[in-house]
Amino acid sequence: MTRFIAVSNRRGGVGKTTTTMMLAYGLAVIGQQRVLVVDLDPQSSTSVVLMGSDRLRDARGRTDPHGQTGCTAANLLVEMFGDDTVDISGYITPRIGDVLRPGGIVPHLDIIAGSYALDDREIEMVVARASAHATIGGLFDYIQRRVGEILRTADGAYDYVVIDCAPGLSQVVWGALRSADFVIVPYIPDKTAEDNVGWLCNRLSKVSGARYKTLANRASSANQGIIESVKARYGGFDLQIPQSIHLSNALDYANGTRTIAQKFGAANRHVTELFNAVLEWVSSERV
């Protein structure tokens, strides 16, 4: 059974890209799982980190199954305008990353790359479908369900699908959250954290069946009070991701391959801790 994990926070700059990268490598390299990453952030930071500029440029220049330029999430969204069954395989870039499994084996890590055009495609989708719905609420519900249906077509082809959501809460993001089995909410433990995290967690409880956990990023001894408060109210992982030069360096894509220990250096233990924590979480929950 494929597990769908969304990484989301409506605030930007809280570590969604770092979390997605760590989780993707942990699952594909340490866990030796089949992993698909879906980049739903127009900034495409996760795509740059996992693919490198050259492969991302190649994906954006390839022809999609309908003859349009761009094998990206934006072109996939155009497919969602209608009601036909969609095959997402034509939008996937296979075997990405700059890390090998032990023994020099290429991990099963694929991606549907991000695109700056994603916001424009969502607006076009709203316009294209507006006449078919009597209310805005009905239109938004359709878009969210349609996005979820398309993402769930990956069920069975992968062990895990990791969805990197854009900041904010667009209809595409809500579609991803409604279709996910699990949601990781990374946050920076500052004065706005509890209010920001609380809003999203409360909304998830009302509109999504997904289980969620918070994850403190850039944690330090100075903000433990905030972390404990967020965890007590909304649940969270026991592990914390500290501010780390090794994690910052790991965001750079290497023009070559290396081991996961070489990529993350001293931060490799945090990748292992996150992998183990997520694996324990999803294994303990019935989906």
All structural domains of the chain? 3-284 (3.40.50.300)
pLDDT digits over 85-123, tens only? 888 999 999 999 999 999 999 999 999 999 999 989 888
Q: What confidence category does residue 287 fall into, taking pLDDT thresholds of 50, 70 and 90?
A: low
For residue 83, pLDDT over 80 is answered with no
Average pLDDT, integer, range 204-222: 92
- What pLDDT sits at residue 285? 81
- What pLDDT sits at residue 216? 97
pLDDT digits over 253-286, tens only? 998 889 999 999 999 999 999 999 999 999 998 6
Tokens encoding 236? 């969270």
For residue 155, pLDDT over 90 is answered with yes
